[in-house]
Amino acid sequence: MIREIEYYAPTHKKELFEIIHNDNRDICLIAGGTDLIININKKHLSPDAIVNLKSMEELNYIEEEDGIIKIGATATHNQIANSLLIKEKALALAQACKSVGSTQIRNLGTIGGNIVNASPAADSVAALLALDASVLLESYGDKRKVKISDLHTHTGGIDLNKGEVLTEISFKSYSKNIFSYFVKFGLREALAIVELSVTAVMEIDENNFCKDAKISIGAIERHPVSAKCVEEEFVGKELNLETIEDCIEKMSEFTAKTLFETPFKDLIPYKKQCIKGVSREVFEAIYYKAVRK
Q: Label residue 45 by pLDDT band (50, 70, 90).
A: confident
166 by DSSP, 3-state: which?
strand
pLDDT of residue 191: 47
Note the pLDDT tens digit of each residue in 193-233. Answer: 558 999 999 999 999 999 999 999 999 988 899 999 999 99
260 by DSSP, 3-state: which?
helix
Cα gap 84→87, rounded to integer Å: 5
Could you tell me the sign of the dihedral formed by the alpha carbons of 281, 217, 130, 164, in that order?
positive
Q: Once rounded to an integer, what is the mean pLDDT over residues 254-277?
A: 92
Rounded to the nearest 10 degrees, the angle between the axes of helix 123-130 and helix 91-98 is 170
Q: Label residue 102 by pLDDT band (50, 70, 90).
A: confident
pTM over 0.85: yes
Amino acid identity of residue 44, one-letter, is H
Cα gap 179→88, rounded to integer Å: 10
Cα gap 36→33, rounded to integer Å: 5
Q: Label residue 187 by pLDDT band (50, 70, 90).
A: low
